[in-house]
Amino acid sequence: MEKNNSQSTKSSLTSSERVLSVLFGFGLYGPQVYAKKYESLKTKRILQPDYESIVRFLE
């Protein structure tokens, strides 16, 4: 019984850690990806107003 309980706690910890790492990774890399997309749109001057509305919606 003790071994099964410890294994279940380990699995739940790893799953929560995965969720936290995904959220943390998106928090780190998300703004960089959006900044790169925004820069490419600014240089191309395509769909700039649509992107600005998307940024306002995300904020």
Q: Tell me how far the alpha carbon of residue 5 is from its chain's centroid.
A: 32
Taking the model in full, what pTM does it have?
Answer: 0.28
Confidence grade of residue 51 (pLDDT, cut at 50, 70, 90): low
Alpha-carbon gap, residue 21 to 19, rounded angstroms: 5
Higher pLDDT, 59 or 49: 59
Q: How far apart are CA 54 and CA 19, in angstroms?
A: 25
Task: Write down the domain spans for the chain.
Answer: 2-58
**pLDDT, tens digit (0-9, with 9 covering 90-100), for 1-32:** 445 545 555 666 677 777 777 777 666 666 67
C-alpha distance from residue 32 to each of 2, 24, 25, 52 (Å):
45, 13, 11, 16
How does the average pLDDT of the chain come out, rounded?
A: 66
